[in-house]
Structure 1
Amino acid sequence: MDKLKAMASFVRIVETGSLTAAAQRQDVSLTAVVRGLSALEQALGARLLNRTTRRIALTEEGREYFERCRRVLADVEEAEAALADRPLAPAGRLTVTAPVMFGRLHVAPVINGFLAAHERMRVELLLLDRVIDLLEEGVDLAIRIAPLADSSLVAVPLGRTAWVLSASPGYLARHGTPTHPDDLSRHRAVRSTGRGSGNEWPLVRGAERAQVAVPECFSSNQVDAALEACVAGLGIGRFLAYQVRALEAEGRLVRVLADWQPPPVDVNLVHAQSRLLSPRIRAFMDWAVPRLRERLG
């Protein structure tokens, strides 16, 4: 068994999420991929993947081996590039995930520019308003707009984004404009049920702190729907600043209690720990990080 070839095939299986896709990526038969994986597991004396007819999932042993394989393969790529006395042009497939609206507004344009500059690269952008396991779902990089609880991830800070309270001019004309957090209890809340949008809104003004419960009239798991409800005058919404910027510029939403700012949230680009990143991941980070920081700024 060619151990290096088997390791590369195993990495392709995890990255693509299926044996069939890995076979297509390597231009070999599905039977060859299955036999190679079985031989690798037998040689290691450990099961690397749990396989069903619908999906595959890494075992605990598989997670550790996957990371080690990626490091070894990155070492090989860099060694070959050094011997050739030339920089290794990034090539291959990259999977990036981001929150839906942030990804659409900011990440997608950055990826488009990256692909125009790196014609041998391919990128899949997954827009998801949930936190996923990068290794479990074969994702290389993720934009996280949330506290980072997983210490196994390496985070590259991109900036911060503010929470803001917004309402339509029509709603405020009918129900009045709050001047203090206590006034919010007499209003109605429009909620997006994603991360950081609980039943109580934390507000800060200097050393003052407030935690306000606002009666709910509408909620949605999609921020676009919550924004439309807010524009329609159903209530006051709590959104991230980039989500309402265009609507504010059009005059369809206005800030409420602007001097009471909810605590901002960090924005990070994260990836799994690795001593050496592959050229394709490093190239994307070198391209994307300064551009995303500029957009957040």
Structure 2
Amino acid sequence: MDKLKAMDTFVRIVDAGSLSAAAAGAGQSLTAVVRSLAALEQALGARLLNRTTRRIALTDEGRVYLERCRRILAEVDDADAALSERQQQPSGRLTLTAPVMFGSLHLAPVLAHFLQLHPGLRVDLLLVDRVVDLLEEGLDLALRIGTLPDSSLVARPLGSCRRVLCASPDWLAAHGPAPEHPSALAGCRAVRAGGLDGGGDWLFSRGAGAPVRVAPQTVFSSNQVEAALQACRRGVGCGRFLSYQVRDDLAAGRLLRLLPDWEPEAVAVQWLFPHSRLLSLRVRAFVDWATPRLAERLSERVA
């Protein structure tokens, strides 16, 4: 049995979601894929996949072995790339994920430019406002905003963004002048966008003073930022958003910034990798090229 080929087949099965799909993607017969998996499991003395006629699922042993296989195959790819033109010209498939709004506004244009420079590259961009398991979903890279819940991932700083409290001119006209202290917002009608503003109290801080906690009344919440922004623009309530999400609205006067001197600490924006020392050339090349361009976008001042 060719162990590396069997490992590759195993990873293909997991990524494809079925034995037949893996066989089609690899240009092999279904029989060959089944035999390869069976031989690998026999050699390891462990079942890697529980499979029925409709679906497959990783066993605990399979989950651990999958991560090791990805590492080994990535090392083999890197060794091959060192002796090929791929070391000078990124190529192949780059898979990454990012939050929906940041990905649409900033990451997608940067990716399009990078693809123009490297026509041998293919990109799969997954935009979701949830934490994606990079290993489970076979992704090379993630852009994440906020605290990192998984310490097993390797992070590289990209920049930061602020949490900005906003309201529409109509809301301010109906609820009096702009507040000068966070306490004026106690019980105010609030619009929520999930993630970093999931539904708890709002914390404000200024200088070395003690933080001020305010409990707003949530009247509208959504897991999609744009929906929450629409409600805020229409005067449903005030809302706290990340600076890049409201930059255009603030510049156009559709929203007004409240209590800028009381904004909490900036939120970190970071690249995340499964394994830093096993990054493929295409991942390293993209991150090195994209980081200063995205950092510049993040550093643009909020009105």
Q: TM-score, normalised by structure 1?
A: 0.91
Aligned to 2:180: 179
Task: Quote the Cα distance in structure 1 between the aligned partners of 2:216 and 2:41.
Answer: 55
Matched, 1:133 2:136: no
Aligned to 1:106: 106
Alignment of 1:34-73 (within 5 A): 34-51=34-51, 56-73=56-73
SS in 1 for 2:269: strand
Q: Which runs of 5+ in 2 are unaligned?
A: none
Alpha-carbon shift at residue 78 of structure 1 (Å):
3.3
CA-to-aligned-CA distance 1:185-241 (integer Å, 9 cap, x gap): 152101112244332101111122111101111111111110000000111001111
Task: Quote the Cα distance in structure 1 between the aligned partners of 2:117 and 2:58.
Answer: 34
Give the 3 Å change call, closer, same or farther, for CA 75–133 of structure 1 in structure 2. Answer: closer
Task: Quote the Cα distance in structure 2 between the aligned partners of 1:167 and 1:192.
Answer: 14
Alpha-carbon shift at residue 294 of structure 1 (Å):
2.2
Task: Quote the Cα distance in structure 1 between the aligned partners of 2:242 and 2:93.
Answer: 31
Task: Quote the Cα distance in structure 2 between the aligned partners of 1:122 and 1:243.
Answer: 28
| Root-mean-square deviation (Å) | 2.2
Alpha-carbon shift at residue 181 of structure 1 (Å):
0.6
Aligned to 1:74: 74
Task: Quote the Cα distance in structure 2 between the aligned partners of 1:122 and 1:98.
Answer: 17
SS in 1 for 2:77: helix
Alignment of 1:13-28 (within 5 A): 13-28=13-28
Aligned to 1:292: 294
CA-to-aligned-CA distance 1:113-158 (integer Å, 9 cap, x gap): 2222222222111111111221122222111112112111000111
Task: Quote the Cα distance in structure 2 between the aligned partners of 1:290 and 1:77.
Answer: 27
Aligned to 2:215: 213
Task: Quote the Cα distance in structure 1 between the aligned partners of 2:90 and 2:19.
Answer: 24
Q: Which runs of 5+ in 1 are unaligned?
A: none
Q: Which amino acid aligns with 2:34?
A: V
CA-to-aligned-CA distance 1:240-288 (integer Å, 9 cap, x gap): 1111011111110010111110222111110112532222322332232
Confirm or deny: 8 A CA contact 1:17 1:138 kept in the other structure. Answer: no
SS in 2 for 1:275: helix
Aligned to 2:281: 279
Task: Quote the Cα distance in structure 2 between the aligned partners of 1:174 and 1:135.
Answer: 50
Confirm or deny: 8 A CA contact 2:197 2:240 kept in the other structure. Answer: no
Alpha-carbon shift at residue 18 of structure 1 (Å):
4.2
Aligned to 1:191: 192
Give the 3 Å change call, closer, same or farther, for CA 265–112 of structure 1 in structure 2. Answer: same
Give the 3 Å change call, closer, same or farther, for CA 88–4 of structure 1 in structure 2. Answer: farther
Matched, 1:203 2:211: no
Q: Identity percentage over the alignment? A: 63
Give the 3 Å change call, closer, same or farther, for CA 54–130 of structure 1 in structure 2. Answer: farther
Task: Quote the Cα distance in structure 2 between the aligned partners of 1:86 and 1:280.
Answer: 8
Give the 3 Å change call, closer, same or farther, for CA 12–280 of structure 1 in structure 2. Answer: farther
SS in 2 for 1:247: helix
Task: Quote the Cα distance in structure 2 between the aligned partners of 1:214 and 1:188.
Answer: 6
Task: Quote the Cα distance in structure 2 between the aligned partners of 1:235 and 1:29.
Answer: 59
Confirm or deny: 8 A CA contact 1:78 1:88 kept in the other structure. Answer: no
SS in 1 for 2:260: coil
CA-to-aligned-CA distance 1:10-54 (integer Å, 9 cap, x gap): 233334444444333322234433332222222212233344566
Task: Quote the Cα distance in structure 1 between the aligned partners of 2:88 and 2:40.
Answer: 28
**Greater shift in the superposed pair: 105-114 or 18-27:** 18-27
